[in-house]
Amino acid sequence: MVVSYTALLGDVWRKISESINPTARELASRYGYLDYAVARYYEILGGWEYVKELLEAFEKPLSRTIRVNTLRFRDSREVLERLEKLGYEFSKISWESFSYIVTKTGRIPLGATHEFLLGGYYLYRGAASLISPLALLPKPSDVVLDSAAAPGGKTTHLAQLMGNRGVIVAVDVSRERFRALRSNLERMGVENVVALRIDSRKIPGIFGEHFTKSLLDAPCTGEGIIQIDPTRKTKTSFEDLVRAHKRQVELLTAAIHSTVPGGLIVYSTCSIAPEEDEFTVAEVLEKLNNVRVVKPSVGLDLEPGVTEYFGIELPAQLKLCGRTYPHRHGFEGFFICVLEKV
């Protein structure tokens, strides 16, 4: 029997409403969240002590992260030493070869240094954005589709991992964000990217099955980056989650249709909402019979994907997806799923 996981979101909302208890209301009031959001966190994490840890972690600022750009500077130490002279200090990220957490701020903002303007590094709000390009395992011989690519952090990361070889088609529909994408490509010396301002859902009709690998860091509600935007505690309704889910299903379906058999597709969000994460992948798995989930290989200890949510069983292979949480990983909440087209 065909299951519509999109349709099942109506049942999810009913069960969420029934699960809102005094503890959920008290924590929601204390930390400034909508009641339904906190009830969902309990369902995901499995204990109120973990929910409290998550809510406390969301109150703490993110540590800025830089990725030194070896397309401009072959020796990472040169960039780091220049920034250290400005008073900055860094801690190496063990699972990404050229990335560092900022442990002490210097005299000049990181977005205004000569080294930044020269393309010496890309500046991130947190470290989670480094995960999805690594999980795609891009090679110099690949033809890569980067959907929803702006402002370019993942595009420039892919180009660096590919050594400016192969081809990346970077797509974004937003005019303003597309300007930022073009600016970052030029600043960081990227030469293997074709940038297109178009809705990525149209890509299969233009290219067909063309790309060996595809990355979709999907537009989402941002429920994993409350440290950056606290308004996300209250501005996202359940209907907003459902609308985001439906668009994400369309975007992910298009990315899969654009990828050749045997290719990899990475789907990621800066959200911890199962409605946008596992339910999106589950809907695509139900619609298409030519993709399977494979475990990300990123050198980072990820939490497994959700396979049961308010009594609704999701495909068992979603356990192979990865999640990060602020209270467990020290940076944003993030979801990643690697699909292989078979």
Query: Residues with catalytic annotation?
Result: 270
Using CA atoms, how far apart are residues 39 and 16, in angstroms rounded to an integer? 7
Residues 6+ apart with CB under 8 A from 86: 106, 107, 108, 113
First-to-last C-alpha distance (Å) of the chain:
22
C-alpha closest to that of 308 among 43, 25, 2, 27: 43
> What is the phi-psi region of residue 2: left when phi exceeds 0, alpha when psi lies from -120 to 50, beta otherwise?
beta
From residue 251, alpha-carbon distances to 9, 91, 257 in Å are 19, 36, 10
For residue 292, the cross-strand partners are 340
Using CA atoms, how far apart are residues 12 and 116, in angstroms rounded to an integer? 46
Using CA atoms, how far apart are residues 297 and 303, in angstroms rounded to an integer? 13
Using CA atoms, how far apart are residues 277 and 268, in angstroms rounded to an integer? 8
If you compute the radius of gyration of the chain from its CA atoms, what whole number of angstroms results? Answer: 20
> What is the phi-psi region of residue 166: left when phi exceeds 0, alpha when psi lies from -120 to 50, beta otherwise?
left
Tokens found for residue 342 = 């078979």
DSSP at 284: H
> What is the phi-psi region of residue 163: left when phi exceeds 0, alpha when psi lies from -120 to 50, beta otherwise?
left
